[in-house]
Structure formats: C-alpha cells, structure tokens
Amino acid sequence: MHVGRKAQKREKKAMSVSLYGNLFFVIVEIVMAIYTSSQAVLLDAVYDGVEQQNVLHQAVFRAQDKDQKKMKLAPFFRECPGKGRLI
C-alpha cells in the first residue's frame, strides 16, 4: 500500500506528540508519587515509563526500515540450540 508524504509527515507528528505527552505524564506521575508517598502511583509511573521505552524502541526500528515493507523487530524469545525450547 502506497502512503503519500503528507500522510507520513502527519503520522510522524502525531507519534512525536504522543511520545512527548507520555513522557510529560510519566514525569508528573513520578513527582506526584514522591509528593504523596504513594507506591501505587509510583508503580503506575514505572509501568508507563516502560511502555514509553517499548513504543520508542519500536518507532526507532520502524524508522530504520527505509522501504517499510516489513517491520524489523527484536525477537523476545529465541530458540535454544539443540533443546527445542524457547528461552
């Protein structure tokens, strides 16, 4: 499927707004967790931060794929040689 340059720019801008908004939200959550001494809010901030890292990581891999015919993903599991198990 062919996507025009204008649509790509719009998607890139939307991704940037989303990533920076999420980063701002994580920072606010950490500050509020410290201020209120709430472990629940701190856990939510850590979860959102990890999610931010995963989204950013996937966006970098997608950007490196110039022809965008397939996404390059780092495998989460790899087969253990000779054992037939996933590790």
Q: pLDDT digit string (tens) for 32-72?
A: 999 999 999 999 999 999 988 887 777 777 666 655 555 45
d(CA 76, CA 25): 27
pTM confidence score: 0.60
> Which stretch, 4-13, 43-52, 76-85, has highest mean pLDDT?
43-52
Mean predicted confidence (pLDDT) in 21-42: 93
* CA 29 to the chain's CA centroid: 18
* CA 78 to the chain's CA centroid: 21
Give kind and range of the element (H or E) at residue 67: none
For residue 76, which of 63, 59, 57 has the smallest C-alpha distance? 57
Position 52 scores a pLDDT of: 87
